[in-house]
Every structure is written in C-alpha cells, then in structure tokens.
C-alpha cells in the first residue's frame, strides 16, 4: 500500500458524535436511509436471517462512546453498520468524504469482472494470470495488480462506471488520476457492499462470489508487509468476516485507516469504519481496532 500521498480529505458533513438510527420506526433523521433491494436470483442461498434480534440493542450509545474515546486520542472516526435483514443503518453521523486508498481495489475488481461478463472483447477476458492478480489485489492488497488493471481497464472511467451502476452519489474518480485517491464515504461503501450481495449493482452472483470469497481470505499482512487485521478483523474476532482494508500516510501528519466489509456467516451485516489520526501507524491501528471493540465488546455483532 502506498504510504505517502498528497490526498486531501474533504469533509462533506460532520454531525458530531451523536449516534443516529436510519430507517428505524419513527426516525426523523434527514440522513439517507439505505434500503436493501430484493435478493438477486443468481445469488446463492446465503441471504441474511430475517428473525429480529437484539444485535443493535445499546449500539447507538456504544458508537457514541467509541467516537468520543477515539476523539480523546486525537482521532476522527466515521462509522456505519447496516443490518441487511431489517434495512437498519446505524452511524455516528460523520459521513465525510475521504480518499479511500486500497478500498478502491473493490471497485477495480468489480469493473474487471463486469467487463469480463460482457464477453465482447477478447482482451477483457481474464487469463489465469489475471485471475491470480485479481485475487492477490483483494486478499493481500497488491498495488502492482491494481496499477495494471487500472491502466488496462479504463482508469478513472472504472470509478465512474461502478458509481453509476451502484448509485454511489458521493463516490468520485481521483482528481489526480491515481486510484488510491478515489473519493467516497461510509454510506456509499455500505451501499456498495449491500448491492454487491443482493445482485442489484449489475454484477452476477457468480462474479460477486469471487470478490466476497477473496475478501474472506484476506491475509494477515498486505503484499507490502503492512499489518491488515486492524479494525473489523481484530475487533470482531468472534465473527466470520470478509474485509477490504485501506491505509495511507501522511495527510497533515496523520494516518488514515479504513476497515470495510461483510460480517456474519449469513452475511447479515455490513460495516465501514474510517479513522484519521495524527500518530504513528501502530497507534492508529490500535485506535480503530479499539473503536470496533468498544462497539462490540463480545467480538460479535
């Protein structure tokens, strides 16, 4: 993962640390309500259990506590958790735009697989080497694979196409042409995962499974040797997770860490958490992981 960037972090909204419930009965929040479309027919039978549970009981208060604790350590945190069964999104209200670093590899992989499914051009079909590169890009965050696909498959047009197919209103191509400076928000990333799982983003179930399976096989360290178990993997240690991580330094002397993914054997939950902290990398990783543990002290949702 590239460690030195000139990415600017743009704040779209920072509504304090009050946890908000989107889509809850009687909710009056003006924040966007993410509604999960119907499950796509091509997806395997792994839709979330619709039996109401107590998973979110007390979570708004724990989200607020995690946000405050991180702030006390100098970190700005953005978090969103979606219950796909109940179409309920909980957030700390900070839906800032950020350069998403290696999480942009999700969009690159999606576009590569979407182009292959068209089957029109021979050079769009994945060779064995291409498939290995795509797997490495998602599992171990291989920058070289991302660079190659970015150059060969359309560059900035990749982001434009994916954002259009998934209706990602705050996601935009990088202004400098570098994939790691792709801009997005927690709400858009949650929406992407939800639509990837239910098939409404245009990617077939078979190809969506390639992405999800790779994320479930995320390695302990990235291709560059950087630890990538921070946030969701170490915080939700008692849950099966499928994650894509991102990290960058230095933006005004701060480390950015982004932990995103799918939680639970039934893929019921989607979570995105991002932290920006003026500290060393180990401290910043510990901060984002502790935030997840504060929200889910049992290691489970």
Distance between CA atoms of 141 and 181, rounded to whole angstroms? Answer: 15
The domains of the chain, with CATH numbers, are 20-295 (3.40.710.10)
Burial track 46-75 (b if 16+ CB lie within 10 A, e otherwise): ebbeeeeeebbeebbebbbebbeebeebeb
Q: What is the DSSP letter of 89?
A: E
User: What is the full per-residue pLDDT of the chain (301 aa) written as tens digits?
Assistant: 444 343 334 333 333 333 333 222 233 333 333 333 333 333 333 445 444 456 789 999 999 999 999 999 999 999 999 999 999 999 999 999 999 999 999 999 999 999 986 654 555 778 999 999 999 999 999 999 999 999 999 999 999 999 999 999 999 999 999 999 999 999 999 999 999 999 999 999 999 999 999 999 999 999 999 999 999 999 999 999 999 999 999 877 899 999 999 999 999 999 999 999 999 999 999 999 999 999 999 999 9
Q: Are strands 269-277 and 76-83 parallel, antiparallel or unpaired?
A: antiparallel
């Amino acid at each position: 993962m590239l460690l030195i960037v000139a990415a600017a972090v743009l704040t779209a909204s920072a509504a304090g640390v009050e946890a908000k419930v989107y889509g809850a009965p009687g909710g009056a929040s003006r924040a966007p309500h993410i509604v999960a479309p119907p499950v796509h027919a091509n997806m395997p039978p792994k839709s979330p259990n619709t039996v109401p549970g107590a998973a979110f009981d007390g979570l708004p208060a724990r989200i607020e506590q995690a946000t405050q604790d991180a702030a006390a350590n100098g970190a700005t945190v953005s978090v969103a958790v979606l219950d796909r069964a109940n179409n309920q999104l909980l957030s700390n209200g900070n839906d800032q735009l950020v350069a998403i670093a290696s999480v942009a590899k999700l969009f690159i992989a999606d576009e590569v697989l979407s182009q292959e499914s068209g089957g029109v051009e021979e050079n769009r079909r994945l060779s064995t080497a291409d498939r290995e590169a795509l797997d490495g890009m998602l599992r171990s965050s291989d920058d070289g694979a991302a660079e190659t696909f970015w150059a060969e498959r359309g560059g900035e047009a990749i982001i434009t196409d994916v954002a259009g197919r998934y209706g990602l209103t705050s996601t935009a191509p990088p202004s400098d042409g570098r994939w790691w400076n792709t801009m997005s928000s927690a709400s858009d990333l949650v929406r992407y995962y939800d639509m990837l799982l239910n098939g409404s983003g245009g990617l077939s179930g078979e190809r969506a499974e390639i992405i999800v399976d790779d994320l479930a096989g995320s390695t302990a360290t990235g291709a560059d040797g950087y630890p990538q178990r921070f946030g969701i993997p170490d915080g939700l240690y008692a849950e099966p997770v499928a994650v894509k991580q991102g990290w960058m330094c230095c933006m005004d002397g701060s480390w950015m860490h982004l932990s995103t993914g799918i939680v639970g054997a039934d893929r019921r939950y989607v979570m995105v958490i991002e932290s920006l902290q003026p500290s060393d990398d180990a401290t910043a990783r510990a901060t984002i992981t502790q935030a997840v543990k504060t929200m889910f002290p049992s290691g489970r949702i």
